[in-house]
Amino acid sequence: MSYNTSAVGSGSRNTTRTFEFGRTHVVRPKGKHQATIVWLHGLGDKGSSWSQLLETLPLPNIKWICPTAPTRPVAIFGGFPCTAWFDAGDISEDAPDDLEGLDASAAHVANLLSTEPADIKLGVGGFSMGAATTLYSATCHILGQYGNGNLYPVNLSAIVGLSGWLPCSRTLRNRMERSDEAARRAASLPILLCHGSGDDVVAHKHGEKSAQALSSAGFRNLMFRSYNGLGHYTTPEEMDEVCNWLITRLGLDGPRS
């Protein structure tokens, strides 16, 4: 699936970028379908990598949708093309934000969720750059619109970010303060953030600062979990935490440890 986005340049000239998203992998629920979660992979990865892991989790009531990001030049790799949800010259919450790429990816996620049945709870999760895109989607849901002003169309019930960071963190609080509705949504949206202290790709401090930025902007239902010595990868312990958190927050049928 492709998305066209237009940006107005100097004078009256318009520039258009097209984002061609890769293959989407779906893990069907093994039990009663109660929730659907779009899960976003990290930089240079693909949806199938995570669908294989998610299929093994003891969460029979969740349908997982694992899309693949567009292949595009990425500044952090000197313009070398790879799968990426947006362009990034630096991996941190202080880096310049590629709003056009973020909006296109957030819209792709919302589109994947928009056809789910009305009684199904919806969520977004991700790893690394996928977690950053997940948190951007969460802010779009809270504010009711994308960065370009278009309306955000779906209601999210859970957000999970592993080893990621928060894009647009510098402007979030000011944007939140303009809307009582946004403050109400932020206070109730469940968010789980996990980060390893030994992460040498997205430093632990970036995850911690992102959690602090969300909390100060009014996201009250947020849990930040640190894993001592964990690098830029996931572990069974971390995924167990994700499973238990989702079962509780989404009210799913299933085992609790």
Q: Which long-range contacts (CB under 8 A, 24 or more apart) does 8-12 make?
A: none
Catalytic residue among 128, 163, 169, 210: 128
d(CA 66, CA 97) in angstroms, rounded, equals 24
User: Is 195 a known active-site residue?
Assistant: no
Give the chain's length: 257
Strand-by-strand arrangement of the 191-196 sheet: 25-27, 62-66, 35-40, 121-127, 158-162, 191-196, 222-227
Catalytic residue among 97, 157, 199, 206: 199
User: Is 232 a known active-site residue?
Assistant: yes
User: Is 128 a known active-site residue?
Assistant: yes
What backbone torsions phi and psi does residue 77 show, to the nearest 5 degrees? -105, 20
The two beta strands, 80-83 and 121-127, are unpaired
d(CA 208, CA 202) in angstroms, rounded, equals 11
Looking at this protein, which amino acid is placed at residue 223? M
Catalytic residues: 128, 199, 232
